[in-house]
Chains A and B, each alone.
Chain A
Amino acid sequence: AAGVIQSPRHLIKEKRETATLKCYPIPRHDTVYWYQQGPGQDPQFLISFYEKMQSDKGSIPDRFSAQQFSDYHSELNMSSLELGDSALYFCASSTNSGQETQYFGPGTRLLVL
């Protein structure tokens, strides 16, 4: 079965650079969630989109922005990168039904030097 696809899988950036992470949800899933997992921490919710509209917002820095496109894929844009942004970034997708389960992608490991 098709899963959530994230690209790139690994990314190395310098401080103050920008990064763009991409997420392709499972086919027919219309909701996308972004989570950040720091070293030794649990995943923390950043932001979510349903039908190209932001549906919820968590602890996402103002330096980050995201959007969902007409084909339901999503991009997380990160600017003025800081050392503390080094983390695993997961995307999850779900359908807009009752108690939908979120299915996670493999993650993008971002290292800021």
Chain B
Amino acid sequence: DQQVKQNSPSLSVQEGRISILNCDYTNSMFDYFLWYKKYPAEGPTFLISISSIKDKNEDGRFTVFLNKSAKHLSLHIVPSQPGDSAVYFCAARGNTGFQKLVFGTGTRLLVSP
């Protein structure tokens, strides 16, 4: 039972354009969400997070939007750069301490020059 879903296994965009990665979740107990970027043979690198009390969080080129009623979040990367090419994982957790992260299946982003 996949509680966090990333329905697009891959996404290709051109350098300078916007990349939009989507994530859906089913468990209404999740209220904190994170995006990680992962290169092959490396650990996930934290990018940005958002609490359920917000609907938007921005950090440089990265913006995460949360639609709690739709149980949907998205990561926007503007402008996209070739170095952004990686697998992006959406992760979710509850609001008490020590909560494990539940990951989506990942979206492979390819940014071409």
Contact = CB atoms under 8 A, between A and B. Distances in A.
Interface residues of A, number: 28
B32 interface: yes
A43 B103 contact: yes
A55 interface: yes
A33 B103 contact: no
Interface residues of B, number: 23
Contact of B44 (A6, A90, A96): A90
B42 interface: yes
Contacts of B45: 104
B97 A50 contact: yes
Contact of A31 (B34, B98, B103): B98
B101 A105 contact: no
Contacts, number: 62
A42 B105 contact: yes
Interface string A76-113: 00000000000000101000100111111111010000
Given A99-B95, A102-B101, A104-B45, 14 more contacts: A33-B101, A41-B105, A42-B89, A42-B104, A45-B100, A48-B100, A92-B101, A99-B49, A100-B97, A103-B46, A104-B43, A105-B43, A106-B43, A109-B41
16 contacts: A41-B105, A42-B89, A42-B103, A42-B106, A43-B44, A43-B101, A45-B101, A50-B98, A58-B100, A90-B43, A92-B101, A99-B32, A99-B51, A100-B97, A102-B46, A104-B43
